[in-house]
Amino acid sequence: MDYDAIQDVVINYEITDVYLMAAMLSATAEKFPMKAWNLNMNSLFNILNLARDGKIDRIFWPSSIAVFGPTTTKENTPQHSIMEPSTVYGISKQTGERWCEYYHNKYGVDVRSVRYPGLISYKTQPGGGTTDYAVDIYHKALKHKKYICFLNEENTLPMMFMDDAIRATVNIMLAAPEDVKIRNAYNLAAMSFNPKQITESIQKHIPDFKIKYELDFRQDIADSWPQSIDDSLARKDWGWEPEIDLDEMTKIMIENLKG
Ligand code: SER
């Protein structure tokens, strides 16, 4: 992450708003801790510093449910909660949240953030996250009618279809600055499900689809995360409301991946 190169682009193209989506996700970050830390933190500092110096007006930087850890309440996890993340990715997101809030309070930087749940899209391949099984499962269901899952069947996690995630991202960025009261990151939710429930949802379209379970290190990551999220402050402050549930998402995923 070259600060001067980013600054040149920002100035030459008169960029006012930056959506900083670069990050190494949870499962990959466990394999490359220092690389993940450097990427996740340096990219954020570059953009925060450009905003502090008046070269960018607004920043969107995503946080994650990974900021929570094994000591957090798992059900309906509140906005303000114990946060003792146990993954490299979670530590980087929790640290990033602190810095975003600090830059806002100290330098007036207009940075806005949400804690994304697992994101599911037919346009993007799995990208090294723990929640990625919920993307891969659709590809494998259509191709092979079977999927080997690295999380156990009862492992419930908060998830969201990409269209909802994009709407949340755009809406928090369009909100009046005074409505964005939380400047670390907002809890955000749409649905929660486990591998068994997504399997049943897929079987409504592909009845002979089968799932098998072979757990790996990603189970430990998933065990440390909440099962459901209380996003009432995002709803209250800037009108967040999810639209897509599990069966609707399955329908869209299958229709678009069928090819
Ligand atoms: N989806 C991410 C991951 O699994 C969490 O934010 O790493």
Q: Which residues line ligand 1 at a C-beta cut-off of 6 Å?
A: 25-26, 64-66, 89, 116, 118, 129-131
Closest residue by CA, ligand 1 atom 2? 129
Reading the block at residue 254, the tokens are 């299958």
CA dist 229 and 207 (Å) reads 31
Given this model, what pLDDT does residue 212 score? Answer: 98
Order across the sheet with 114-116: list the strands: 63-64, 114-116, 186-187
Q: How far is the CA of 230 from the centre of ligand 1 (A)?
A: 18
Whether the predicted pLDDT of 163 surpasses 80: yes
Expressed in angstroms and rounded, the spacing between residue 24 Cα and the centre of ligand 1 is 9
84 vs 127: which has the higher pLDDT:
84
The residue annotated as part of the active site, out of 89, 116, 138, 147, is 89
Question: In this model, does residue 259 exceed pLDDT 80?
Answer: no
CA distances from 69 to 1, 222, 257 (A): 28, 10, 34
Residue whose CB lies within 8 A of the most ligand 1 atoms, among 131, 133, 219, for a mutation test: 131
Match 């960025």 to its residue by tokens: 173
Mean pLDDT of the chain: 97
Return all residues near 210 (Cβ < 8 A) that are at least 6 apart.
145, 146, 147
Question: CA 121 to CA 74: how far, in whole Å?
Answer: 25
For residue 213, the SS3 value is strand
